[in-house]
Structure 1
């Protein structure tokens, strides 16, 4: 009898032990958490004389952690960059001495992660500019059609008077535009043509050359005569989709014949454009505007627009708050050269016959 009882107890124990073992799955994954994450950042060329680097803007990041199989790096708000080795080389482009946030993530084989961040100070020196586009107008005849197109007519029916009450009819005839003796000549004339009393030309690089950021230099001699309105300017290449002024306008040089010695630069944005009393305008006096050549310049960076005359900066547009209303200058723009005649707010001298703007060269550096 005792043997039978012991046999029953043994069977019950074996049965219970078997059920308990079956509750543990051999495939149950144990979370692996990285630990001891460290980050070192070396700034290239950093020494006692260059405490924020040698100006190249290059850094080398090295991260280590226990139980990590891969790493990820974020520079400021840029997209995360994965690195199996835990190393990353990065070069900053913003000129000057600036602080940057660098964040590193360590990932384990189970996808668990820890992170660490550091703030570093890096100096980026001024980069030498390279000539990326130019026209020196060395071949007589028509302007190079691989570089220049034309606006023709008076803007009708959609924008008669080109939105300003202008009186000219734009053509591409040699009477109004030609290359001669090493310069581009745009001539505004009083003549009856296509129902208008004045003709002129408006050249543009739209769909041929458009760029974002850079330095523009235009060596020009301006026309004279009350009623003339020559301009060297730029418009956002997205104007056909977003319209004006959302595309942004940059007037490198504008001149009005009725105010002969004053040359101006201006910006037009959704925040302030056209007749807005706050339109940003920089003016300077140029006594020999029509008898001598001057270099009208623009330096366009991510932060500001610097307008210059013969290499001297005269006016800067740098809004404190940069958004789509005040700073639409983050997308490509194209160049425009023209002489308009008349406008909504000024008249043309009845004795005007013709006058010419001469362009010696245009150079764009980046």
Structure 2
């Protein structure tokens, strides 16, 4: 049983753009997974107020960019390795919304999926009663239909805040919602980097995609989509038995 102490927290207790000492905007019109949005660096699509991070997906008049949204990451600014992460968030309403909170590995020369991906939370407005967690490695990933996924069913994901939790040690990763475990992976004695790339620093990504293979059918009448993150807390391991 691991013991933890608070090492980092982002309470979004300020107003304006996300703290540039922690977050970088990723922008552009072309993204993976058949997503339909352009990611932009605009205050109306990503801002901090009233004690929360707000990411808003909106319709656009630009035929080359029909939807605008935001994606921020902590790469090269704040990296993490092991510990417990507690992210308090409320999902957006709207068919076609695809918010995610996830982590990518930082080992140079290792592209996806070999670098490792940890998906703390994904949600689709077309399936508003479920939220999923997953991880991807060279051996286990969705491109070869071997990725590992957990699902939680609930009726209030887009009306109430919940705690999305990752417990990550050198021996296991555990995904939880309000401390209910929905997915766990334990490191096996013979695992190589291809199966277990999780003994390295990772950076965090928070984004709101539109459509794509996970988000599904987009209904324009449902816009704007509004994704809220109230806090992020990282607890370091101080004792592990």
Residue 147 of structure 2 is aligned to residue 272 of structure 1? no
Deviation at 1:194, TM superposition (A): 7.8
Which of 105, 120, 126 pairs up with 1:258? Answer: 126
Task: Tell me the residue number matched to 2:218.
Answer: 348
Deviations 1:91-149 (A, max 9, x none): xxxx6xxxxxxxxxxxxxxxxxxxxxxxxxxxxxx43x121111100011111111111
Q: Answer yes or no: is the 8 Å Cα contact 1:169–1:194 preserved in 2.
A: no
Residue 171 of structure 2 is aligned to residue 303 of structure 1? yes
For residues 151 and 69 of structure 2, the distance between their equivalents in structure 1, rounded to whole angstroms, comes to 25
1 or 2, which has the higher strand percentage?
A: 2
Deviation at 1:319, TM superposition (A): 4.9
Which of 53, 57, 61 pairs up with 1:188? Answer: 57
Structure 2 unpaired stretches of 5+:
237-241
Q: Answer yes or no: is the 8 Å Cα contact 1:218–1:295 preserved in 2.
A: yes
SS at match of 1:192: strand
Deviation at 1:286, TM superposition (A): 2.0
Task: Tell me the residue number matched to 1:241.
Answer: 109
TM, length-normalised to structure 1: 0.62
Q: Answer yes or no: is the 8 Å Cα contact 2:128–2:158 preserved in 1.
A: no
Structure 1 residues 194 and 170, CA gap change in structure 2 (3 angstroms): farther
Q: Answer yes or no: is the 8 Å Cα contact 1:225–1:349 preserved in 2.
A: yes
Deviations 1:235-260 (A, max 9, x none): 0123x521111110000000111111
Which of 283, 287, 297 pairs up with 2:151? Answer: 283
For residues 217 and 40 of structure 2, the distance between their equivalents in structure 1, rounded to whole angstroms, comes to 21
For residues 213 and 319 of structure 1, the distance between their equivalents in structure 2, rounded to whole angstroms, comes to 13
Deviation at 1:303, TM superposition (A): 1.1
Task: Tell me the residue number matched to 1:314.
Answer: 182
TM, length-normalised to structure 2: 0.92
Runs of 4+ with >3 A deviation: none
Residue 43 of structure 2 is aligned to residue 174 of structure 1? yes
Deviations 1:202-244 (A, max 9, x none): 0110000001111101000010211111001000123x52111
Residue 10 of structure 2 is aligned to residue 164 of structure 1? no
Task: Tell me the residue number matched to 2:194.
Answer: 325
Which of 65, 84, 89 pairs up with 1:220? Answer: 89
Residue 14 of structure 2 is aligned to residue 139 of structure 1? yes
Q: Answer yes or no: is the 8 Å Cα contact 2:11–2:230 preserved in 1.
A: yes
Deviation at 1:352, TM superposition (A): 2.9
Structure 1 unpaired stretches of 5+:
1-94, 96-125, 155-159
Cα root mean square deviation, aligned: 1.5
SS at match of 2:27: coil
Residue 168 of structure 2 is aligned to residue 293 of structure 1? no
